[in-house]
Amino acid sequence: MDTWNDWFDHAQQGLFEAVLQPLMFALGLGNLLEDGFAATAWLLVGLLQIAVLVLLIMPLERWRAVEPVTDWATVRTDVLYTLIHRLGLFRLAMFFTLEPVFDWFFGALRVAGWGAWQIDQVWPGVSDRPVLSFLLYLVVFDFINYLVHRAQHQSNAWWALHALHHAQRQMTVWSDNRNHLLDDVIRDAVVVVLSHLIGVAPGQFIALVALTQLSESLQHANLRVSFGAIGERLWVSPRFHRLHHAVGVGHESHPPLGPQARGAALGGHNFGVLLPWWDMLLGSARFDALYAPTGVRDQVELGRDYGRGFWSQQWLGVQRLLRRA
């Protein structure tokens, strides 16, 4: 852990001094150097993630693809979403718009006597062991993500935005960040607030998000891979998560495929982000040994348009939301 931290700190410092610091001075943002240094950590993590996607997961897709990719235009749009999120452009926009709101909110909580609850201090000795502390926060962080993800599927208004993520008929390693920007804002705001309240340290938060994002990229890959009878119940696999995207199965409460499920309500299966435990405990898990077609039922059966390019997808999402409001 110490070796990894030292390597990351040196890489962050080098990237900041070579790229970000000169750029910020050139743009007249010298007063934000401390924030720029923190942003460098996210940029470095994003660059490392993209390297893993290109050098490791994409070759695996070519080796054991679930289906041939024929609609490369939609995949290129997904690549754009990935670059926006993994290279920190979305976080930069959040910083200039919502960061003051977060600062005010957390300041108000401290004034009211509501500080962060350090979960790793509940059990003696855990906070002194970085690996144990990280694993504890990983489990709690993942449960928060499960609840948020399930809410995205059970609120009509939130589903109007989140449906864009499920409208990809050609899932690939690039599909994880294919989300409506308002969906991401709501989700990230909830996760940031709850992570602050349970006492996740900034360095741990970056590591948790990085691990989660990398695992989610693998889950969305066009990859015919199962982790086996035991492994499927320990960590979310590409097969487990693909079922979550399956037409009429993953995001609707009635599992049967076919005309009998046309009126299925919002709900679904396999909401787990890293750990399938929450699905197993709360009755939303399905471990069917199949690689079903992906998409949204009204898109497949009724021809509903979810857009092909970035801006059309964003605009259609707003229209869906306004109709649900």
Q: Under DSSP, is residue 125 helix (H, G, I), strand (E, B) or coil?
A: coil
What percent of the chain is modeled with pLDDT above 70? Answer: 94
Q: Which residue has the tokens 């660059």?
A: 47
* Mean of pLDDT values over 82-93: 93
Which of 122, 144, 103 has the alpha carbon at shortest distance from 278? 144
Rounded Cα distance between 172 and 177, Å, is: 11
Sketch the domain layout of the chain as residue ranges.
Answer: 2-324
Instruction: Give DSSP secondary structure letters for 204-232.
Output: HHHHHHHHHHHHHHHHHSS-----HHHHT
Higher pLDDT, 311 or 2: 311
* Mean of pLDDT values over 187-203: 89
Residue 130 phi, psi dihedral angles, 5° rounding: -55, -40
Higher pLDDT, 127 or 148: 148
pLDDT higher than 90, residue 54: yes
* Mean of pLDDT values over 234-247: 96
pLDDT in tens, 283-313: 999 999 889 999 998 998 889 999 999 999 9
Report the run of H or E that residue 87 belongs to, with start and end. none
Which of 39, 204, 188 has the alpha carbon at shortest distance from 116? 204
At 251 the pLDDT is 82
Residue 296 and residue 306 in contact, taking contact as beta carbons nearer than 8 Å: yes
Residue 230 and residue 280 in contact, taking contact as beta carbons nearer than 8 Å: no
Other Cβ atoms less than 10 A from the Cβ of 180: the count is: 23
Query: Mean of the per-residue pLDDT values for the chain?
Result: 90
* Mean of pLDDT values over 42-46: 95
Residue 324 phi, psi dihedral angles, 5° rounding: -85, -25
How many angstroms separate the Cα of 235 from the Cα of each of 57, 141, 171, 192, 205?
17, 15, 20, 23, 20
Q: Which residue has the tokens 């007063």?
A: 31
What is the sign of the dihedral through the CA atoms of 121, 124, 129 and 135? negative
pLDDT higher than 90, residue 110: no
pLDDT higher than 70, residue 75: yes
At 209 the pLDDT is 94
At 85 the pLDDT is 96
> Could you tell me the pLDDT band of residue 280, with boundaries at 50, 70 and 90?
very high
At 150 the pLDDT is 94
Residue 294 phi, psi dihedral angles, 5° rounding: -105, 160
Residue 212 and residue 274 in contact, taking contact as beta carbons nearer than 8 Å: yes
Residue 276 and residue 230 in contact, taking contact as beta carbons nearer than 8 Å: no
pLDDT higher than 90, residue 21: yes
* Mean of pLDDT values over 22-26: 92
HSE-up (13 A, CA, CB side) for residue 228: 2
